[in-house]
């Protein structure tokens, strides 16, 4: 697999972070997928007790390898990421983001992720509930 040039990946990461920051200020429901904010990257918007969250869902293998810091990552369908600043904001608001459920990126400090060998809205939703236990129950996810 071809690895992206470090500067182009850095720009993509900055674009996604800007989209995450912007999305956190937008209206949201319990669990919303956005369109692509960068090639191969969508956001999952949620909130916990009034604190907005925006996870990024990466699907390009070269991006996943870059975030994991390992070009030999096994076949993976997607990577769901959150930055440490959002976890601190949720903690400051009195709730928890269980970063112990996620892997700390060695390549991108302050980013935590979960890998999916198969990705669906239902699976992403289940991981969100494990990572953010205070999310309200939601039964209409496909």
> How far is the first Cα of the chain from the last one, in angstroms, to the nearest whole number?
32
Of 49 and 82, more confident: 82
Tens digits of residue pLDDT in 83-126: 999 999 888 888 889 999 999 998 999 999 999 988 898 999 99
Q: Greater confidence, 56 or 25?
A: 56
Q: Write down the pLDDT at residue 98.
A: 93
Confidence of residue 137 (pLDDT cuts 50, 70, 90): low
As beta bridge partners, residue 36 has 42
Residue 50 has a pLDDT of 82
Percent of the chain predicted with pLDDT > 70: 87
**Burial letters for 6-21: b for 16+ Cβ neighbours within 10 Å, e otherwise?**
eeebeebbeebbebbe
pLDDT band at 138 (very low <50, low <70, confident <90, very high): low
CB 47 within 8 A of CB 97: no
pLDDT digits (tens, 9 = 90+) for 20-43: 988 887 766 678 889 999 999 999
Given a cut of 50, whether residue 1 has pLDDT beyond it is: no
Residue listed under structure tokens 């991981």: 127
- Percent of residues, the chain, with pLDDT higher than 90: 44
Cα separations in angstroms, 83 against 32, 66, 68, 87, 95: 18, 16, 14, 7, 16
């Amino acid at each position: 697999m071809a690895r992206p040039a470090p500067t182009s990946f850095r720009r993509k990461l900055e674009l996604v972070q800007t989209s995450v920051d912007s999305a956190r200020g937008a209206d949201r429901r319990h669990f919303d997928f956005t369109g692509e904010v960068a090639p191969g990257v969508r956001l999952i918007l949620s909130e916990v007790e009034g604190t907005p969250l925006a996870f990024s869902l990466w699907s390009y293998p070269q991006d996943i390898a870059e975030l994991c810091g390992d070009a030999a990552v096994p076949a993976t369908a997607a990577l769901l990421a959150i930055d440490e600043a959002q976890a601190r904001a949720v903690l400051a608001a009195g709730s928890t983001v269980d970063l112990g459920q996620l892997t700390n990126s060695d390549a991108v400090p302050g980013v935590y992720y979960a890998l999916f060998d198969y990705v669906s809205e239902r699976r992403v939703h289940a991981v969100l509930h494990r990572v953010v236990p205070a999310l309200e129950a939601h039964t209409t996810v496909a």
